[in-house]
Structure 1
Amino acid sequence: MENITVMAILLRLMNDSISNKTQFSIARGILKNFRQIPQISIYDLADLCFVSPASISRFVKSLGFSSFSEFKKECEGYISIDVDYSSNVLKAKGADILPLFERYTVSAKENLDYNLQNIDMDQIEKISDWIYKADDVVYLGLEFATILGQHYQKKMAECNKYIHLPWNFEQQREIIGDFSENSVAIIASLEGGYFYRSSEIIRMLKNKGSKVIAITMEHNSKLLRDADEIILCNKNNSETEGRLSLLHVIELLIMYYFINYK
């Protein structure tokens, strides 16, 4: 469960399991009552989901949890949307919204300008050549970065280059375990969180001899010492505006690859 939150797992089940009525019902019931999960029993949840306690037990084990207690603990530790925003947003009233929108937009524009000002065309050429010649390329990230990875994967496939996009630790370990030395890992992590949470994957990549490309704003962090190339991305991220600049960098990489390797 290291690289994907319980909320993301449940939402994916809701999207993928409509044909499995029991899984769909349990996932929907948990999401509707998510904040209550740490305080209720397996019997209470079973009633809320209109299934048996045994079905709840099987469900959480299918997600990789050893017990309902472990699942509850994971739900309790889930970090909510509040952490996305500064105190300006958390304390905002109706009259504050438009000025906040304006500041957000200005900050987002500054990020895009920052990306363009810091772009190193020799670096982009080198990275694109690595990707073109690699036997395998994997895109890694947490949460939103992985969602952007779906877009990157699709567009690169249209350029005749397949990109691995594993969603969780087990898939990442399995895919990287089969890599040759001629492989590339693209790690999108604005604040370096992936490097902190996935040290085993980083070690595997280095042991394989894979080239590691980091897209991040934390370019001075010791966490990034194993990156072969660091693409600077983002100046501000107080209100999640960094998400837009991460997409900006990914679009630039796609565009360069399309022009030179289509």
Structure 2
Amino acid sequence: MFNMVIILLATLNSEPVGTNDYRISRFILSNLKEIHQYNISQLAKACFVSNSSISRFCRKIGFRDFNELKHQFFQWTDIGREKFAYQGCREEALKDSYIDGIIENLQLLKKSIQAQELQQLARDILTFSKVAAFGSLHSQSVVLNLQTDLLTSGIVMDTRTRFQEQLEYIEEADSETLILLFSRGGSHLKRFLIHDLQLSQSNRPKIVMITANRGFRTNKYIDQFVYYDEQEGFTAYPYAFEAIKGILALEVYMQKNKNEKHLK
């Protein structure tokens, strides 16, 4: 269910205001608890579009038809209490307990992330002729920051915000491409990587996933996992990803400068 919301938010964020897909995604997100009660004609009328526009929208985001999409919302509940929970939360001291939680998670990151893995990843970024990175929501903002930081080292990194475009990019990439997947739990990528992705065995990109989910170890298309530990809850991210992004950008910059000095 949460994956469905991420897909809709990605559509909302990438579509021009006023387009059919923008109106449809915005209406569904605004009516998550009631959308399962709509039929296709009612939804089309509410969004001021045709039934065929609803059908195209459903196929565009990966569903056969509107009924399949609607089925995703039968179990929707208010996730606020779960989303904002974190260990040590104190209502009388939200500021202090929240910041303390962030610090504890950064301490876990410091102990668990392997410097050698980030150093090797930096070498790969400098070695591959094409580099791309993908995420969603919080992790996508980290990807955009990494894209900006790598420009300082002369690396032009590709990214895409929509899931379908991410999928197409990965499928069209060749062995000269390095792709980084930022995914705290890995769940939003499972649908594409396990069920939808079709890659050549002989000429495919190197794919590296950066994740806190140590149980997500098996996927024939992921070549390397970079793991870190965290305490589950609202204080977990995007701070860990931001720190990893910063270390990675620094490693690339330092290694590039070292290589250039060595050549002089």
Q: Normalised by the shorter chain, which TM-score bucket?
A: 0.7 to 0.9
User: In the alignment, what sits opposite 2:151?
Assistant: 157
Contact 2:185/2:211 (CA < 8 Å) preserved in 1? yes
Q: Alpha carbons of 1:55 and 1:142: their partners in 2 closer, same or farther (altered >3 Å)? A: closer
> Distance in 2 between the 1:16 and 1:240 partners?
30
Contact 1:196/1:223 (CA < 8 Å) preserved in 2? no
User: In the alignment, what sits opposite 2:16?
Assistant: 17
- Aligned-pair CA distance for 1:236: 1.1
The amino acid across from 1:252 in the alignment is I
The amino acid across from 1:69 in the alignment is N
Matches within 5 A, 1:1-262: 5-6=4-5, 8-10=7-9, 12-13=11-12, 16-20=15-19, 22-53=20-51, 55-76=53-74, 81-82=79-80, 83-86=82-85, 96-168=90-162, 170-193=164-187, 196-197=190-191, 198-199=193-194, 204=199, 208=203, 210-219=205-214, 221-223=216-218, 229-261=224-256
C-alpha RMSD of matched pairs (Å)? 3.8
SS in 1 for 2:124: helix
The amino acid across from 1:16 in the alignment is E
| TM-score for both structures, normalised by structure 1 | 0.74
Deviations 1:205-241 (A, max 9, x none): 8754644433222346533797655434342122352
The amino acid across from 1:122 in the alignment is Q
Deviations 1:158-199 (A, max 9, x none): 432122324455434433344333432322222343564423
- Aligned-pair CA distance for 1:38: 0.3
SS in 2 for 1:185: strand
Q: Alpha carbons of 1:161 and 1:202: their partners in 2 closer, same or farther (altered >3 Å)? A: farther
Contact 1:104/1:241 (CA < 8 Å) preserved in 2? no
- Aligned-pair CA distance for 1:131: 0.8
- Aligned-pair CA distance for 1:52: 4.9
Deviations 1:94-122 (A, max 9, x none): xx524454333212102222323445443
Deviations 1:53-85 (A, max 9, x none): 455445445545432212212344668634434
> Distance in 2 between the 1:65 and 1:30 partners?
15
Range 249-258 or range 169-178, more displaced: 169-178
> Distance in 1 between the 2:206 and 2:200 partners?
8
- Aligned-pair CA distance for 1:35: 1.8
Deviations 1:14-72 (A, max 9, x none): 6632253x544444333332321101223333443344545544544554543221221
| TM-score for both structures, normalised by structure 2 | 0.73
The size of the alignment, in residue pairs, is 255
> Distance in 1 between the 2:220 and 2:60 partners?
36
Contact 1:135/1:180 (CA < 8 Å) preserved in 2? no
**Runs (5+) with no aligned partner, structure 1:** none
The amino acid across from 1:107 in the alignment is G
- Aligned-pair CA distance for 1:130: 0.9
Q: Alpha carbons of 1:206 and 1:77: their partners in 2 closer, same or farther (altered >3 Å)? A: farther
The amino acid across from 1:241 in the alignment is A
**Runs (5+) with no aligned partner, structure 2:** 258-264
Contact 1:14/1:28 (CA < 8 Å) preserved in 2? no
Higher helix share: 1
